[in-house]
Structure 1
Amino acid sequence: MRKLLPAPLLSLALALLWLVLWDEHGPVVWLGAIAVGLAVPVLTAGLRPSRPHARRPLLALALLWRVTVDATRSCLEVAWLLLTRRAGDIPSGFLRVPLLLQDSHALATLAVIVSAVPGTALAELAADRSALLLHVFDTRDNERLLAHIRLHYEQPLREIFET
């Protein structure tokens, strides 16, 4: 069954997308949706990374909450800076974040987190996965930001994804 349906959620999403993109919903469109939903995941299985082995689901929920709170707070801080300062008065630049993470799923999650929180954007992951290069909107307190990323994002991700 796993060979026929290697990624059930992806199959379902592709089939639904196929149905949404067509104006009519006759039998041919439905057969096309089923064919696309079954064929694409099978044909692209080699392109997808290995399945994540996430542990500690409660910690993952806590991390999600932390990111939500941080994104909200950062959004307000960025908005305040934009409303109260001139662009030239806000020191922006790059910050190198040394990493202990090695799991590809954890690194991808960290990249999504730092890109989702206003004020930071992922610029580059080192080829040896030893560091992230972030563009930071406000570089006045890089040490605090670095400590925050390590404590509140990297450490939980290590506990969730790495043994």
Structure 2
Amino acid sequence: MKRLFPAPWLSVALIVLWLLLNLSMSLGNWLLAILFGVLAPLLMAPLRPLPVRIGKPMTIVRLFLQVGRDVVVSNLQVFRQVWAAGRKPPRSAFVRVPLDLRDANGLAALSMICTVVPGTVWAELALDRSVLLMHVFDLDDEAAFIAHFKTTYERPLLEIFQ
């Protein structure tokens, strides 16, 4: 049964969504909804992420709170830097951060963190997942930034995903 319906709740959700979006309960819409609800999860099953084993759930809470704090602080810093850009331009730079994290789910979480925190952009990941290239909006000290990034974000993700 699992081979025919790899994600049964997704199939049900797709069928319901199809019928709701089409605002019709005709036989043709039911057939298309069922066809879509069965075939879409089957065709996309290879794209599903690997199962996640989470260790240390309290680390997730601490990381979530830290990222929330960093988002607020970084927003204020970037705002101040943009406001004063005429007097003191930002020192933007690309930084290569060596990574210990190799888990695909952990790297996905790290990429989301980089996207959410203003002033940092995930630019490139080495093929062997050993180095992350990031663009930093205003960089004072590269070594301090790398140490902060690894301690604040990578280490908790290592605890959670590995």
- 1:16-75 deviations in Å (ceiling 9; x for gaps): 6545643x2324445534432332122111123321222222211221121111111111
Gaps of 5+ in 2: none
**Residue matched to 1:75:** 75
TM-score (norm 1): 0.84
Identity, in percent, stands at 43
Letter in 1 for 2:83: L
Distance 2:116 2:9 in 1: 23
The residue correspondences of 1:10-159 to structure 2 (distance < 5 A) are 10-11=10-11, 14-15=14-15, 18-19=18-19, 21-22=21-22, 24-27=23-26, 28-86=28-86, 89-159=89-159
Partner of 1:58, secondary structure, is helix
1:144 Cα deviation from its structure 2 partner: 2.7
1:105 Cα deviation from its structure 2 partner: 0.8
1:108 Cα deviation from its structure 2 partner: 1.3
Judged with a 3 Å threshold, the aligned counterparts in structure 2 of structure 1 residues 100 and 8 are, in CA distance, closer, same or farther, namely farther
Gaps of 5+ in 1: none
Aligned length: 161
Letter in 2 for 1:140: D
Distance 2:32 2:64 in 1: 37
Partner of 1:122, secondary structure, is strand
Judged with a 3 Å threshold, the aligned counterparts in structure 2 of structure 1 residues 136 and 7 are, in CA distance, closer, same or farther, namely farther
Q: Aligned Cα RMSD in Å?
A: 2.4
1:149 Cα deviation from its structure 2 partner: 1.2
Judged with a 3 Å threshold, the aligned counterparts in structure 2 of structure 1 residues 87 and 133 are, in CA distance, closer, same or farther, namely farther
Choose 62-71 or 8-17, whichever is displaced more. Answer: 8-17
TM-score (norm 2): 0.84
Partner of 1:108, secondary structure, is helix
Contact 2:19 2:25 in 1 (8 A): no
Judged with a 3 Å threshold, the aligned counterparts in structure 2 of structure 1 residues 161 and 35 are, in CA distance, closer, same or farther, namely same
